[in-house]
Amino acid sequence: MSKAKLKIKKGDKVVVLTGRDKGATGEVTQVMPSDNRVLVSGVNMVTKHKKPTQFAAGGVEKIEAPIHASNVALIDPKSEKATRVGYKIDKDGNKTRIARSSGQAID
């Protein structure tokens, strides 16, 4: 699988568009461009059974699983709704990400 150019970066606020967690929002904690997936805090929680080790007790844990990047959208900083991402290049040649719906720059 080829490495895709993702428009979503670590630290972005996103909303889930489809699936079990549709409508849930969270912050991107990890981006996996080789798999075209992102890890969003508090979204796509799965149950993991851990064996006890010398250092940690075993048991059942809830962890976040990666979600496909096409199933999340960036949140517009102005309207707090899902938006597409675009790019704008200024006179100096600096490239900044913008929200398509409002045209506002994304930090």
> And the tokens for 78?
């102005």
103 located within any domain:
no
The pTM of this model reads 0.84
3 located within any domain:
no
What gap in Å lies between CA 87 and CA 103, rounded to an integer? 10
66 located within any domain:
yes
User: 45: which DSSP letter?
Assistant: E
**What one-letter code names the amino acid at 88?**
K
Count up the domains in the chain and report the number: 1
58 located within any domain:
yes
> What's residue 1's pLDDT?
57
38 located within any domain:
yes
5 located within any domain:
no
The string of pLDDT tens digits covering residues 37-69 is 999 999 999 999 999 999 999 999 999 999 999
> What's residue 2's pLDDT?
64
What gap in Å lies between CA 107 and CA 98, rounded to an integer? 9
Q: Is the pLDDT of residue 85 over 80?
A: yes
Q: Is the pLDDT of residue 30 over 60?
A: yes
3-state helix, strand, coil in the chain (%, to 5): 5, 45, 55
What gap in Å lies between CA 100 and CA 24, rounded to an integer? 21
Give the confidence band of 4 by pLDDT, cuts at 50, 70, 90.
confident
57 located within any domain:
yes
Domain extent, residue 53, equals 13-82
